[in-house]
Amino acid sequence: ALLADRGLDPAREPLWLFGHSDGATIALLHAAAFPGVAAGAVVIAPHLWVEDVTLAGLRGARRDFLEGDLRTRLTRWHDGPDSAFWGWNGVWLDERFHGWSIVDEVGAIRCPLLAVQGTEDEYGTLEQIRSVARRVPGTVLLELPGCGHVPHRERPRELIAAVTRFVARSADPP
């Protein structure tokens, strides 16, 4: 319905999915649920399950939001920083969510994937994207040494170059 509302027809013009963190997870779920709709996907720091490092990072973010300057920094990106923060942090730290996983769903993906993860990501490990690669043949991995959770801010030139190469190669296969 969203695609139709926006006048997008994947049968006429294949879509490329691009997501970061929870948005990357959404891109993976979309590609799995609607085969043939996505020409390809770039997923940066996706979550396939809840890791201990994720929970530790979220607890640290909660402290920074309550006691530090995270709320102020979020106003740059969100009109409602409280709603954005608690809608994200509250769900992930809810004990009922700790068994959540999309590992099984990812295996249904058939489009080209570029999966990106920083080696110093405070919310996830390299095992997240490596798990994607084990389940989706042909997945291209980009592991960024010394990079945290936000490669598009921390390593923009390297990320843009990798995405450009990947899309060009995937859009025009030999």
Q: Which fold has domain 2-49+106-171?
A: Rossmann fold (3.40.50)
What residues are paired with 40 via a beta bridge? 16
Q: pLDDT by residue (tens digit) across 38-92?
A: 999 999 999 999 999 999 999 999 999 999 999 999 999 899 999 999 999 999 9
Structural domain boundaries in the chain: 2-49+106-171, 53-95
Let me know if 116 is exposed, middle or buried by CB neighbors in 10 A (0-12, 13-18, 19+).
buried
Q: pLDDT by residue (tens digit) across 123-146?
A: 999 999 999 999 999 999 999 999
pLDDT at residue 37, rounded to an integer: 87
> Left if phi > 0, otherwise alpha if psi is -120 to 50, otherwise beta: which for 111?
beta
